[in-house]
Amino acid sequence: MAIDYKRLRNWPLADVEQSYDWKDSALYALGVGYGHDPMDERQLRFVYEEDMVAAPTMPVVLATHGFWVKEQNTGIDWVKVLHGEQSLVIHRPIPVAATVVGSMRVKGIVDKGRDKGAILVQERTLRDKATGELLATLEHLTFCRGDGGFSEQPDNGPRGGDPAPAAKPATPDTAPDLVCDLPTMPQAALIYRLCADLNPLHADPKVARAAGFQRPILHGLASFGVAAHAIVRSCCDYDPTRLKSIGLRFSGPVFPGETLRTEIWRQGSRVQFRARALERDVVVLSHGLAEIA
């Protein structure tokens, strides 16, 4: 079954409501490395209920719509999809405890060609139910490797699908201004999966080996959170309200227990970055861009 452009572009996605408390906020923060040094009081604020603040990237696990592309009749070959890019704009500080509502829409479908796959662009907004205030806007790019060429069919959307999203800037070729090494725990994926994504790829060695990995891998959005942690640490002095937006491309898998070295280039309020798995010297996150207040 091929992608039906009109049907997928207008796929019905009901709002998702979620209530969470300080323990959920602490669990997420632990999953992306806050509290690794329990004597660092700046980190402790994210995981201890006294004078607590939420990690700014927590919206990625709040009021999510799950793996909906697997639903029947989307036309997507879901086995071949990859999470390609993620971005987050933070409009207001994320509450430590609240009831929030997530609204999702398909923002675009790009046809890269029969042999190159397609790109599905999803946009999700997160609002505080009590106040109606917009907390965050998220954009999620999925590479649908098995679904290219759909627009070659008659009356199946514009040729080439929708315009491709703007490309993220390439990493500078100069030495970074800052470097931040953050270790991940061997059990990091087992902690993070309790926040949102229960995919056994991140927990079961047998499933990981069947997928071609030597052991379970860390969630992409967990590595996203670790890189953001590095930015908050290095550029914001652990003040989460200073991180206004962050986006990146997923370039390779991370194994729990590896150290992520985030290399940072500063240009005023604009920050570019990438992250590598230090033990393997492999870039795992690239084309990173953040805005700092």
What own/partner pairs with CB < 8 Å and gap ≥ 24 does 10-15 have?
Answer: 10/106, 11/68, 11/74, 11/106, 13/65, 13/68, 13/103, 13/104, 13/105, 13/106, 15/63, 15/101, 15/102, 15/103
Report the alpha-carbon distance of residue 40 to residue 113 in Å, rounded: 50
Instruction: Tell the residue number behind the tokens 């999809």, with chain if given.
Output: 81
Instruction: Tell the residue number behind the tokens 């962050």, with chain if given.
Output: 246
Q: Which residues contact 255 (CB under 8 A, 6 or more apart)?
A: 214, 215, 216, 217, 218, 277
Residue 202 is among the residues annotated as catalytic for this protein: yes
Annotated catalytic residue, options 24, 140, 147, 202: 202
Q: Which two tokens stand for residue 138?
A: 């998220």
At position 244, the amino acid (one-letter code) is K
Alpha helices in 150-202 (DSSP H): 188-192
Report the alpha-carbon distance of residue 101 to residue 61 in Å, rounded: 12
Residue 197 is among the residues annotated as catalytic for this protein: yes
- Half-sphere exposure of residue 128: CA atoms within 13 angstroms, side-chain side: 15
Annotated catalytic residue, options 147, 197, 229, 287: 197
Classify strands 117-128 and 98-113 as parallel, antiparallel or unpaired.
antiparallel
Q: Which two tokens stand for residue 127?
A: 């609002």
Q: Which residues contact 198 (CB under 8 A, 6 or more apart)?
A: none
At position 82, the amino acid (one-letter code) is L
Catalytic residue numbers read 197, 202
